[in-house]
Amino acid sequence: MGSNMAENHPVAFQWVVDAQRNGARVIHVDPRFTRTSALADTYVPLRPGSDLAFLGGLINYILDNGHQLSEYVAAYTNADVIISDEVALPDDLVKLLSGYDPDSGTYDATAWRYAGVEQPVVAASGKRGRHPDRGGGETPRGREVEEAERDPTLSHPRCVFQLLKRHYAGYTPERVAELCGVSREQFVEVAEALCANSGREATSAFVYSVGWTQHTVGAQYIRAASIVQLLLGNVGRPGGGIMALRGHASIQGSTDIPTLYDLLPGYLPMPQAAAHPDMASYLSALTAHKGFWGDIDAYLVSLLKAWWGEAARADNDFAYGWLPKLSGDHSTYRTTLAMLDGDIAGYLLLGQNPAVGSSNGRLHRLAMANLDWLVVRDLVEIESATFWRDSPEVESGELDPGEIATEVFFLPAAAHTEKDGSFTNTQRLLQWHEKAVEPPGDCRSDLWFVYHLGRRIRAKLAERDDPTDLAVRELTWDYPVHGPLAEPSAEAVLAEINGVDAHGEPLAGFAGLAADGSTACGCWIYAGCYAEGVNQPARRTPRWNQDAPASRWGWAWPDNRRILYNRASADPAGRPWSQRTAYMRWDAEQGAWVGPDRPDFPASRPPDYAPPADAAGPAALRGDDAFVMQSDGKAWLYAPDGMVDGPLPTHYEPHESPVRNGLHAWQASPARQRLAHPHDPDNPGSTDPAPGPPDPFGPHAPPFPFAITTYRIAEHHTAGGMSRFGRRLTELAPELFVEVDPVLAQRRGLVHGGWATVLTARSAVEARVMVTDRLRPLPVGGGVIHQVGVPYHFGYGGRATGDAGNDLLSLALDPNVHISEYKAATCDIRPGRRPRGAALRRMVDEAADGHHHKGAG
Amino acid sequence: MGLADLLGSWPVWRQLRGPDRLGLSQAVTSPATQATASPTAEADHVAASVCPFCAVGCAQRVHVRDGEIAHIDGDPASPVSRGRLCARGSSSLDLVAGPARETTVKYRAPYARQWSQLDLGTAMDMIADRVIAARDASWQERDADGHRVNRATGLAALGGAVLDNEENYLIKKLWTALGAVQLENQARI
Ligand code: SF4
C-alpha cells in the first residue's frame, strides 16, 4: 500500500516476483493502477487519503473474527495495560481523545497515561522527552512503568486490547468500502488473505513508500500498519514486518546520521531549550527504565567526546552546553517562511532542488529571492540555482532579476564515482563505494566542501577572541587529506563514526560505549561498522558464497543485524513459532540465542529470565521483552507518548478533500499542522466540504471537485536533477503529463495527447493529457470521486521540461514529522494550456478567492 | 581458407556442433560482433560502487580505462540486486559523464542578470565569510523565555539524501557547532 514498488524500486521488486513464483500472494492497494498493480495477484483501487480507514478496517476485521496471534499479542505487546480512566475514550468515534486543546490545536500527551503510572512513559521514537517535569529526583529511570496496572486476560474494559476493539468497531467492512471507494467483497478478500497468511505457520509483510508518509496523518498510517502486524504476529519474524521503501541512495543514512533539525546522530533528540537546559535534565527526560534507551547517557557522552574530544569533560557536562537548543519547529517549511520574512541570510542546498521538489514551489522560489546569499552544490544547473533568471515568477513578472539581491554561488559537485564513501540503503545496509576517477574541473565532493569550509571558518575564528566561537574552535576537525585536491579521508570519518574505546581501539559495537567519557562514538547505532579497523561496509563477499541473510555483504546497523526485534521470531518460551517460520531460538544447552542472524536480544539471557528489582537499562529486560528499544520492552498497540496526534490511529480526511469524513465528526486531523501564509491559500470549499454525496459535475459541485495526487515514474528521479538533464532518461520520458480517467476527460473536454491545465489555489500547471483506465472513478459516499494524477519530477530546466507538479500543493503538514500532504489534495482541471505572463497569477488568484468559472461539464 | 574454416564460419554448422544449440549466442555472432569488445573487457581498473539513485542500493561496477569511466554495469555478486540495474541505474554513465555536467564554479552577483566566473578558492573564502557574518548577525544566546539556546537562526541548509554518511556526518557536526539548527533534507520533503 502507498507504494509503486515495481516502478520506483524496480530491482527490489524482483524479490517480490520471486516470492510470487514460490507461492506468495501479492496484493496491491493503491489509488493508481501501475506496473506494480499489473504484476500483483490482486489489485484494489482506493481513494487517495483513505488508507487509514482501510487499515482500521483490517484491525476491526482481525479483532472481530479473532484472527490475532493471541500468544504473541499477550507476551510482546502492551495489549494488557490498563489505561487511566481519565482518558476519554473515543468509543463513539465522535468525541476526540482527551488532551486536546482547541486554542493551540495540540494534544497534551500526559493525558494518555497508563493507569497507576503518574509520569509519562518514555517513548522510543517520535516526539519524545518534551516533559520537563518528568523524572528527576528519586526515580530518574522512570521505573514506575513497572507499576502499570495490567490484565493478562485482556478482558478489562479499559485495557488496551478492549480499547482497540472499541475504537475500531465502527470500521466495518461496509463503511470502509464506502469510504475508500472499494467494494465490500474486495475489502474482505484482502482481509481474509492477510489473516490466512499470518499466524504461527506463515507471515505477511507490508510495503509502503511516500504514498503513506506524505499525509497530514502519515505517521499514523504507519502506526496503524504496525497495529495490524503486531496483532497478526508479523513483526520480528522472517517474511514479516513493515518495509519502508525509501527513495534516495542514502536517505536512510541521512536520517540515521541526520541532516535533520530535530535529531542528533543515532536518533538522539536534539535538546529542547525549555525542557533540557543541561545534561541532567536531558537524560532525566529521555532515559528509559529498561531496554537500550536506558543507556542513552553513554550514547550522548560518546557523541560529545567524538565532536569535542579533550574539551568535553565531566566537569563541563561534556560540552553539552555547546549544543544549540530548539524551541519548537525549525523544519524546512518553517525555514522557508522565515526566508520570506527576511530572517534567513544564507542557505546551502546540497544536492536538493526545492524549486521543483517541495510543496508549493513558487513559495520556495520567492523565498530564495529574499536571501542574502545561496550556495547550490549539484551536478547540473538545477532550477534552484537559476530561479533568479528562469523561474515562472520571472516570466509572470512577479520577480525581476534586476531587483533580486540574492548572491548565488554554484559549486559543481563530484559524482558518486569520484569519491569514496558509504550509502545506507532502505534495509539499513551500509555499502561502500570506491572512487573510480578524480572529479573534473572545480567539481568536489561534499566531504571536501564541508571539511575545507570548516577549516577556513575555524582559521578565521581563531583570529578573534569570542567565547561564542569556542564550540567551533574546539571541534575535532583534523582529518587526513590526500591526493591532488586535498580530499579528506572518508574512511577516517567512518572510523570516527564507529568510535573508539578507552584505549583508542575501534569499537566492536555499541555495547562497548560508556558514559564516563572514556569512549568516543559519532553515531552509536553505527558502532561496529569499522570493527577491528576494517571497513565493514566495503565487504563484498559474492552472494553465492554467503549465508542466508548475506551477512558478509556490507554492514547493517545495528550490529550487522538483518531482522530487527528477531527475539519475536521465537515464542515466549524461545521456540520457533513453527518450523516453517523458524529464525532465532533459545538453545538451552549452549545457553544462547541461536539462528542465522545476530540475536536482537542480550545473547545469553534465557526466555524465562526475571531481572532483579533494581536492574535498569538492557539489564532490566525480562526474557520475553522482545521489543528491546521500548521502555517497557513491549510493542505499543497504544502509544502513551511519542505521537503528538493521538495514541490510536484514527481516520481523518486530508486537509483538502472532496468528501466529508464518513467515520468521524472531525473532518481532518485536529492536530494537523497548517503553516498559514498568504502565498499558500487553501482551495475554497475543500477543507470543509458540504455533506452529502460528492457530485463533481453537478450544479453545486465545489470549485475544486477532484482528488489530486502527485507521484514519481520509473524513468525519472525526484526533482529531476539526476534524470531530466541527461540524454538517456529524457528520451524515455520527455515531458510532463497528467493522467485522467475517460469519464473525467469526456466531462471536462480533455483530449488524449492534448493540453490540460490543472489548477489549485496555489498554482496552475499545464501538461499533456493521458486518458487512461489506470485511474478509475471511485464510488464514495453515494457519489463518485475522480482522480487527477501528476508526476512531479519536471521543471523549467534541463532537457525534459515541464511545469513542476508540486507547485499545486500546500503546506499542510503531519505534526509529528512536518512532512507535507503531497499525496492527497483537491484540484480542478480544464482543457488547454495555462495563461502566460501576469494572466497566470490572475487565474490562480481568482481561483483562490473562490471566483471560479464552472467547468465545461 | 580451408574447408574446416569455411564450415566453421557458417552459423548453422556452429549451432549444430558447438554448445550453443539454440543459436542464441556464440553460434550466430558475425565477424563484426566478434571484433567488438565490451567496454568492460578492456578496463584497467574496476571500482566497486553503488547506484546513486534510489535506496534499493544496487551494486555497480565502474570500469575505468585510460583514466576515464568507460562503462558502469551491475555487479552480479550483489545479494541485493544480482547484477541488475533499472532504467535509472543504467543511466549512471550519462549522469556522471554526460554533457549536462557542470564543472566550473558560477557566481551570480546581487541584481545581476547573468552568471559570472569565480575561482573555487575565492568562492570558498567568500562563503566562509558569509557563514560567519550570518552567524554573528543572528546569534541568540537566549530565547524569548530566557532559556539558553546558543544558536544562529540566520543560517539554513537543505540536502543530504544523496550524500554519503561521512558527508552528512561532517555537515551535522559543523552546522551544530556553529549553532545552526535549520538543517534539513529530503526525508522531510
Ligand atoms: S538500479 Fe534502480 S532500483 Fe537499483 S538502486 Fe538504482 S535506481 Fe534503485
Judged by DSSP in three states, A386 sits in helix
**Is A273 within 8 Å of B148 when comparing Cβ atoms?**
yes
pLDDT at A141 > cutoff 60: no
User: 3-state SS string over A636-686?
Assistant: CCCCCCECCCCCCCCCCECCCCCCCCCCCCCCECCCCEECCCCCCCCCCCC
Percent residues over pLDDT 70 in chain A: 96
Instruction: Select from A30, A63, A75 the least CA-distant residue to A626.
Output: A75
pLDDT tens track for A787-834: 999 999 999 999 999 999 999 999 999 999 999 999 999 999 999 999
Least confident of A17-21, A116-120, A124-128, A552-556: A116-120
Average pLDDT over residues A300-305: 98
pLDDT of residue A132 exceeding 60, the answer is no
Residue of B nearest to A445 (CA): B167
Instruction: Indicate which CATH number applies to the domain containing A62.
Output: 3.40.228.10
Instruction: For residue A541, tell me if it sits in a domain.
Output: no
Q: Is the dihedral of CA A218, A219, A221, A222 positive or negative?
A: positive
Q: What does the pLDDT read at residue A857?
A: 34
* Whether residue B157 sits in one domain with residue B112: yes
Domain assignment present for residue A201? The answer is yes
Helix (H) or strand (E) holding A26: none
Domain of residue B172, residue span: 105-188
Please indicate, yes or no, whether residues B27 and B10 belong to a single structural domain of this protein.
yes
Q: Which of A191, A224, A244 is the last residue of a domain?
A: A244
Provide the pLDDT confidence category of residue A138 given band limits of 50, 70 and 90. very low
Q: Do B21 and B62 share a domain, yes or no? A: no
Cβ-proximal residues to A843 (8 Å cutoff; 6+ apart), any chain: A759, A764, A834, A835
- Predicted pLDDT of residue A460: 98
Answer yes or no: is A45 within a domain: yes
Position A204 confidence tier, pLDDT thresholds 50, 70, 90: very high
pLDDT of residue A97: 66
Same domain (yes/no): B64, B136: no
- At A257, the pLDDT band (50, 70, 90 cuts) reads very high
For A686, the grid coordinates are: 475543500
Whether B40 maps to a domain, the answer reads no
Q: At what angle do helices A446-462 and B120-138 cross, to 10 degrees?
A: 60
Kindly state whether residues B74 and B56 are assigned to the same domain.
Answer: yes
Total number of domains in chain A: 2
Among candidate residues A668, A639, A637, A687, the one with its CA nearest the CA of residue A50: A668
Q: Mean of the pLDDT values across residues A311-339? A: 96
Total domains in the fold of chain B: 3
Asked if pLDDT for residue A133 goes beyond 80, the answer is: no
Q: What is the pLDDT of residues B8-18, one digit of tens each?
A: 777 787 788 77
**Chain B contact present for A840, CB below 8 A:** no
What pLDDT is stored for residue A143 in this prediction? Answer: 62
Average pLDDT of every residue of chain A: 94
Nearest-5° Cα angle at A175, A174 to A179: 120
Provide the pLDDT confidence category of residue A854 given band limits of 50, 70 and 90: very low
Which atom of ligand 1 is the closest one to the Cα of B87? Answer: 2
Contact A673, A331 (CB under 8 A): no
The phi and psi torsions of B73 (rounded to 5 degrees) equal -135, 175
Q: Dump pLDDT digits (tens) for A627-654.
A: 999 999 999 999 988 999 988 999 999 9
Indicate the residue among A196, A224, A244 that finishes a domain: A244
Residue A272 included in any domain: no
B9 located within any domain? yes
pLDDT at position A136: 40
Q: State the pLDDT at residue A90.
A: 52
Confidence band of A142 (pLDDT split at 50, 70, 90): low
Are B88 and B140 found together in one domain? no
- CATH code (residue B52): 2.20.25.90
- Looking at chain A, which residue has its C-alpha nearest residue B80? A12
Residue A533: phi and psi, rounded to 5, are 70, 15
Substitution site in A8, A9, A717 for ligand 1 pocket (most atoms within 8 Å of beta carbon): A9
**CA max distance for chain A:** 80
Residue A43 half-sphere exposure, CB side, CA atoms within 13 Å? 17
Please check the confidence at residue A557 and state whether its pLDDT lies above 50: yes
Residue A126 lies in a domain: no
Q: What does the alpha-carbon distance between residue A722 and residue A793 come to, in Å, rounded to a whole number? A: 10
Whether residue B1 has pLDDT greater than 80: no
pTM as predicted: 0.95
**Average pLDDT of every residue of chain B:** 92
Tell me the residue range of the domain where A842 lies. 673-848
| Length in residues, chain B | 189
* Cell output for A230: 503486531
Mean per-residue pLDDT, A104-132: 77
Q: What CATH number has the domain bearing residue A728?
A: 2.40.40.20
Residues 420-439 of A with CB under 8 A from B: 421-427, 429-437
Lowest mean pLDDT among A4-18, A279-293, A758-772: A279-293
- Are B87 and B142 in the same domain? no
Type of residue numbered A544: W
| Nearest chain B Cα distance for residue A523, angstroms | 9
Of all helices (H) and strands (E), which one includes residue B157? strand B148-159
**pLDDT over 50 at A568, yes or no:** yes
Report whether the peptide linkage leading into residue A558 is cis, meaning its omega lies within 30 degrees of zero: yes
- Closest alpha carbon within chain A to B123: A409
Give CA angle at A248 (A245, A253), nearest 5°: 90
CB within 8 A of A120, min separation 6: which ones? A109, A110, A113, A131, A134, A640, A641
Q: A643 lies in a domain? A: no
Residue A802 domain-assigned (yes or no): yes
Rounded-to-integer distance, Cα A184 and Cα A189, Å: 9
- pLDDT per position as a tens digit, A171-196: 999 999 999 999 999 999 999 999 99
A323 vs A163, higher pLDDT: A323
Q: Are residues B92 and B113 in the same domain?
A: no
Whether residues B73 and B29 fall in one domain: no
Give the three-class secondary structure for A190: helix
Chain A partners of B101 at a C-beta cutoff of 8 Å?
379-380, 412, 415, 440, 443
Does residue B183 sit in the same domain as residue B111?
A: yes
pLDDT-based confidence at residue A856 (cuts at 50, 70, 90): very low
SS3 A832: coil
Q: What is the pLDDT of residue A215?
A: 95
Cβ-Cβ contacts under 8 Å, B69 against chain A: 417, 436-437
Which tens digit of pLDDT belongs to each residue from B51-98? 999 999 999 999 999 999 999 999 999 999 999 999 999 999 999 999
B29 and B50 both lie in a single domain: no
What distance, in Å, lies between the first and last C-alpha atoms of chain B?
Answer: 68
Identify whether A205 is part of a domain. yes
A57-106: pLDDT as tens digits:
999 999 999 999 999 999 999 999 998 876 665 544 445 567 788 888 88
